[in-house]
Structures are given as structure tokens and as C-alpha cells.
Chain A
Amino acid sequence: MSAEIELLERDGFDSLLAALAADGYTVIGPTVRDGAIVYDEVHTAADLPVGWTDEQGGGHYRLHRRDDEALFGYAVGPHSWKRYQLPPEVTVWRGRRRADGGLERFEEAPREPPRLAFLGARSCELHATEILDRVLLGGAHPDPADRARREDVFVVAVNCGEAGGTCFCASMDTGPVAKAGFDLALTEVLEDGRHYFVVDVGSERGADLLARVPHAAAAEPERDAARRIHEHTAATMGRELDVTDIRDLLYRNYEHPRWDEVADRCLTCGNCTMVCPTCFCTTVEDTTDLSGDVVERRQSWDSCFTVDYSHLSGGSVRGSGRSRYRQWMTHKLATWFDQFDSSGCVGCGRCITWCPVGIDITEEAAAIRASDGERRAGA
């Protein structure tokens, strides 16, 4: 964490966005659309969910008006930054079939991808980005296209002013305060008639940008205000997850009766995998045009909840909903450690909020822990 703590007044905020635009960045940030807060292009502060907050619970998400004009007075919505790091649909290659049956690959003239600036990234999301980096770039075969998407992204993080109803980043040690992975991190303060941002500078690039924006050094009372907000957020998490020995706890409970119980509720709709910022499964499809000569390979998000996901020898290894929910949860909290040296969960709570039946990963883990070792009949 940088020792440079600066102050940005509310009326200087648009200068920050203007400076990013002047540097050629397309700024992506939270906006209100269709009753939710989703990521889209933003140009000025007016594009942000000014004065909005969210109410989140199991299978529940509503927006409400605040009684102030906070720019970031809400938790995370259904979108995550994953959609920019690992887009929902990507064309992997295109080819034209030759007479000998082979494919002649042709590259489309590479469009200059826009330089992106992420505005409003939360600590949980920064951890999710790092986790996805390890999956996509940390193996033996990193894809240059994945690497290109990660280069030159400017990150303006925001430290949450309040914890969401389903948040548990404190349990996962992934927040609420951003510690790394950002160029600038803002803590929004609305107090005593003032509205300002305490700015943590996280990189040279961040310092350079801030230098071109009206700002000052943050005074002690202002830093204290930010600190109080951080502590309050950490103390008011909507959920808790006891991560003591969580990997081995789940490893020894594959036949726990709780999996049958959750299977009675789970629709295997896959919403959780779509909103989760670390779920990375994809599938590919080869398609041709009507002539059969132009072939395209498209990669798109997939979900371990689909029946075909584990197809093998004419059937599926995980045919039952029970086995598929178990796969998702044990991957997220346990086998991810063996596969990628970290937990797969950042405690953002999206899976709880966006599950149509409100299944709560923290509740499921607690239920298994409470009767550790119990086995379903006949197991």
C-alpha cells in the first residue's frame, strides 16, 4: 500500500474521467440499467448510479434511492470485470476450407482493441482478476489473446462505503479495502456537508494521472474518515464463511446428506457460474457458413451445471443435480487450491443474490461443518 494518500474533491471527479479520456482510455464503470447496476461506458460522473443503493439477499436484488448523492453507494451487481478479461463470446479463429480438406486460416485485420479503464473495481474483483490471471496466464499454454486483454488496463478501484447484503469478502480475506492491483483506489466520504474521495495511489501511472487532476494531500481527519469507513464496512458484512480448514472439510464430506438437501432446491440454472467473477469454464463450437467453406471457432462461457459438461462414453459423469452442485461448490472452495494454489471464491456474494432460489454458499458450508462426517444413507 502506497504511502501517498491524496484527496480528490467531488467537483474534481469529472477531471479524473476527462484525464483518462484524454489518455485514450475508454472508461467502463457502473451504470443503472434495467433495475440493476451493470458495467458500461461512462464519460462523466452523471453516468454513474449517483444517489442509488442496492438491497441484496438470497435471490433478491433491488435498487433504492439514497438520501445523498454518493457516486458509489452500492455493492456489486450481476456484471463482473470477468467479461472483459474472459469475454462471454470470442472468435478464436476463422478459416477457409481448401480442396484437400485443410483449413487456411485468415486473420481479420486486427482492430485496435480499445484501451480500457475500469472505474469502480472493488477489492473482491481485484482478487478475482488475479485469480483468473493465474488460470488463464499461469499455465503452460497462455493464450496471447488473453494476455493482450490484460495489458494496459487502467484500474480505478473503489473501497466499499458499505458492505452488501450478501458480501463476505472479510471472511475470504479479499477486502473490503483494496491492497494491490490498482492504479488508484478511492474511498468516497460524505460527511459534515463535504463530499470528497481519499485516494490511495497504487502505481506510477496512477500518480501521473492524478498529477494532472486538481487534488491535494489528504489531511489526517480525512484519512481517519476513510479508515472509519473501511472498519465499518468490514464489521457489517452481510454474510460470513468460516474458512478454517475448508478444503479438507469439503474433501472428507463428498457423501454428506447436505448435498441431497441442496439438490432439492438447486435448479442447475447456472446463474451462479455466470455472475461469479472467477468461474472460467468455456466451451468451443466450430461453425460453418452455408457453403461449408468458411469455418469459425467460437469460444463462449460454459457452466459445470449443464448435463453435457461432463459428457463421457455416451453419458455424463455428473448426471444428477446433486453431483453438479457439489462439483461447483467443492471446486470453488476446495479443489481450486490444488489446481491453482488459491481459493476460487472472493466473497462477493453474487451467487447468493442471483440464485433464483437463494441458495447461499456460506450457509451450505456452515451446514456441512456443523455435521462434519455425516454420510447419506447407504454411502
Chain B
Amino acid sequence: MQGLEELIAAAPVFAGLAPDQLELVAGCGANRRAEAGEVLFREGDPADLFFLIRAGTIALEVHSPGRGALVIDTLHDGDLVGWSWLFPPYRWRVDGRAVGPAALIAFDGLCLRGKCEADHELGYQLMRRFAAGAIERLQATRFQLLDVYANPAAR
């Protein structure tokens, strides 16, 4: 079995971190498995965790009475799941559900926030990586909102 540090080092999102930084990050992590259909977090829950997907798919959902659960995004191998731990009020904004069985690493957000405060170089390196992921998803979401497949006559 690979150690946690090795698994984190292999993840593209953490590529380029120095060994001591990887050790700090791994110190806040733990292996986690999810079963198919398992709900990992719900809108409004305290967001003190975030996840790295080693293998599997996590669906982000919003529920609406009468329409049920609406999937607004899906995240896959190598993706980070969860930003709500970064800033107050530290509450999940959406529901997260494992689509099939998933292998994850769960990170303690409070722990990592503390380490970033103490070590600003670590903080900078991590924030760069988180920001890059967020920007990429924001741009994709904007494109998604254009609803390009709609019937042009209906526009």
C-alpha cells in the first residue's frame, strides 16, 4: 500500500510541492472510501473537510422540492472537491454524492488552514493550485450557461 504522502505527491494538483510541504499536507489527510450513492456532504453542513478524488466520480447536486436533486457538476480522478472550507462561514453550498464506489483522501480543513497561516510559503503554493482549479471551473461554467445547444428558434 502506498503511503499517504506518496499518493498526494502523485496527484497532478499537488505536483511541484517540496517534500516538506507534501509532508505538511499529508499530515492533514486520511484515506477515505465512499460507497456508490453515499452522500458525503449536504448543503448547509459545516465544511471542515475537502477531498481529493483518487478514483471515482463525485456529483455535486442541489435539491429543489418538486424537481428533486439536480446535478450541477461532476468531479473525477485527480480533482479536488470542496472550497467552502477555505473561507467563512465554512458551510457546504451544495450536496456531494459518490456516483459509484470512490477512493478519496479526506483533508481536515481546519488543520490545513492552520498550517497555511503558520507557513505562508505553503499557503501561497496551495492557494495558487486551488485558484487555478477554481478559475478553470468558473470559465467552463460560464460556457455552460450559454446553453449553446438550445433550439435557436426558442431563444
Measured CB to CB, the residues of A under 8 A from B are: 310-317, 319, 377-379
- 10 closest A-B pairs by beta carbon, nearest first, are A378-B39, A312-B66, A313-B66, A317-B65, A315-B66, A378-B38, A315-B67, A317-B66, A312-B65, A313-B67
- Assess whether B37 is interfacial by the CB under 8 Å rule: yes
A314 to B65, CA, bound (A): 10
Are B68's CB and A315's CB within 8 A? Answer: yes
- Please indicate the chain B residues that have their CB under 8 angstroms from the CB of A311 in the complex: 66
- Please indicate the chain B residues that have their CB under 8 angstroms from the CB of A378 in the complex: 37-40, 97
A310 to B65, CA, bound (A): 9
Are A377's CB and B38's CB within 8 A? Answer: yes
Interface residues in B31-79 by Cβ distance below 8 A to A read 35, 37-40, 42, 64-68
A315 to B64, CA, bound (A): 10
Residue of B nearest to A311 (CB): B66
- Please indicate the chain B residues that have their CB under 8 angstroms from the CB of A315 in the complex: 66-68
Are A314's CB and B39's CB within 8 A? Answer: no
Residue of A nearest to B96 (CB): A378
- Please indicate the chain A residues that have their CB under 8 angstroms from the CB of B67 in the complex: 313-315
Main secondary structure of the interface of A (DSSP, over half): loop
- Please indicate the chain A residues that have their CB under 8 angstroms from the CB of B40 in the complex: 378
Residue of B nearest to A312 (CB): B66
- Please indicate the chain A residues that have their CB under 8 angstroms from the CB of B35 in the complex: 377
* Cβ contact of B64, chosen from A313, A377, A379, cutoff 8 A: A313
* Cβ contact of B39, chosen from A310, A317, A319, A379, cutoff 8 A: A379
A319 to B35, CA, bound (A): 24
Closest chain A CB from B91 CB (angstroms)? 17
Closest chain B CB from A93 CB (angstroms)? 30
- Please indicate the chain A residues that have their CB under 8 angstroms from the CB of B68 in the complex: 315, 319
Residue of A nearest to B39 (CB): A378
Closest chain B CB from A230 CB (angstroms)? 48
Query: Can you give 20 contacting A-B residue pairs, CB < 8 Å?
Result: A310-B66, A311-B66, A312-B65, A312-B66, A313-B65, A313-B66, A313-B67, A314-B66, A314-B67, A315-B66, A317-B65, A317-B66, A319-B68, A377-B35, A377-B39, A378-B38, A378-B39, A378-B40, A379-B39, A379-B42
Q: By CB atoms of chain A within 10 A, which of B37, B42, B67 has the most? A: B67
Closest chain B CB from A277 CB (angstroms)? 30
Encode B85-98 as 1/0 by CB contact (under 8 A) with A: 00000000000010
Closest chain A CB from B102 CB (angstroms)? 12
A378 to B97, CA, bound (A): 9
* Cβ contact of A316, chosen from B37, B66, B97, cutoff 8 A: B66
Closest chain A CB from B66 CB (angstroms)? 4
- Please indicate the chain A residues that have their CB under 8 angstroms from the CB of B65 in the complex: 312-313, 317
- Please indicate the chain B residues that have their CB under 8 angstroms from the CB of A312 in the complex: 65-66
A311 to B66, CA, bound (A): 7
Residue of A nearest to B35 (CB): A377
- Please indicate the chain A residues that have their CB under 8 angstroms from the CB of B39 in the complex: 377-379
Q: By CB atoms of chain A within 10 A, which of B35, B38, B39, B65 has the most? A: B65
- Please indicate the chain B residues that have their CB under 8 angstroms from the CB of A379 in the complex: 39, 42
Closest chain B CB from A378 CB (angstroms)? 3
A365 to B37, CA, bound (A): 27
